[in-house]
Structure 1
């Protein structure tokens, strides 16, 4: 189960409080032994300029929200980076009774056309749950050629997080698996904070926590990270080792992300990717890109 908003806010605050050492915060060793990692609640409250009672209520889930000023002060005291600061704002935002905005689970025709127009670039589109909504043929061959290409049926479409943690073939693709896994868990943490009334997302996270001890361990750390560009170190079963640039583009208004994988021209990585393209029958598929 995904924690409630109050408890999730408290859990995130506690994880960052325990991460920050007294020395990093400019606090002396004191005369009594510490029984908790990181800062004490009263120490963090003093650094942030809020009362210990106010902070304790937030961390214990008694209070489910806080003002922007308090959140900003806590973020500064905890030395949060911009992505963590924004995540804290989302967790502390007051609940609203309005229905959540509808989210697309299918692609716009223009996005399908864009995928088909990039035969030399591996491309994939996922939603906020990491479900694969579509990929072009090269994207499918690069990332998961061992699973079906069709993503039209929501009940059976691949999910990148499940593949990453539970599918040994997909896991073996990433020489930098640990880094990729941490980014994926961070994205799911941020999605869980934004979309609280999503039973599908809750089932995904709960199932992964049960089926993968590694996922459960990473989830407990509450990672938060925002980055749209990576260099991916891959070991492909057909073309071998290659390093590809990975750009992530958010599609406006759709709660979807497009991942693009490409190589710099004139490099051995470009040659390897071109070899993978050649291995495909690039004649247009009758069913097109789904």
Structure 2
């Protein structure tokens, strides 16, 4: 009887999950399987033939593919840690504000995240355009008339500005939501013992939301490795190489050069690299939590 009841419960659970599982299989699982199959073929126009792992061997020796990781590596080492640190500071500032004012600033800071990346790219392309930028009159007044606002050397810094503008407010919102779950007794006890607000924030509260910080780091690292929209839109203002980022190289290989099977193989390699980096960060964070007994 117990097994029957358990079997019925399991059946009902899968019945409720069936719509999601069907959609997940069609939207996620099937494209991955089809992509793996497609990556095992060579292509010339509409003609395709089986080549096995030849595409992957070519990728390993393709310097243009590996050079494309310069910008993602820059974002991973600079943008991601700095943005998370700024988001943590902003989240703690929210805590110090009166409730109404904090809600207003959270709303303002969250707004850029609601704007689609393509639209944000268009807006920032306008801001950094030599002919239409609102910064042009100010630069002319300061004696920089005729100097280009944006060139290829400045693109990484511009990407930092755009990504900070897009995602810092959202990241701060997530950190603040996690801080709300921390029991007030911890902070009150620390303040009784003489700790300041910032000592309580960084030594009491922040370790308790370490798991959320780790997940934010992983999600932002995935975004850094797959960055596409922002440099693609800036490409209308400054000439960027087709392999400026891995995602741009994959896109150009498929739609500019017609190498769809090779682009599919590169996409799968990029997905594996992203998975390995995420797994490494997650395991390192788990080891630290276990070492501290959390």
Q: Which structure features the higher share of helix residues?
A: 2
TM over 0.5: no
| Structure-2-length-normalised TM-score | 0.22
Q: Which structure features the higher share of strand residues?
A: 1
Larger RCO (CA under 8 A, 6+ residues apart): 2
| Structure-1-length-normalised TM-score | 0.23
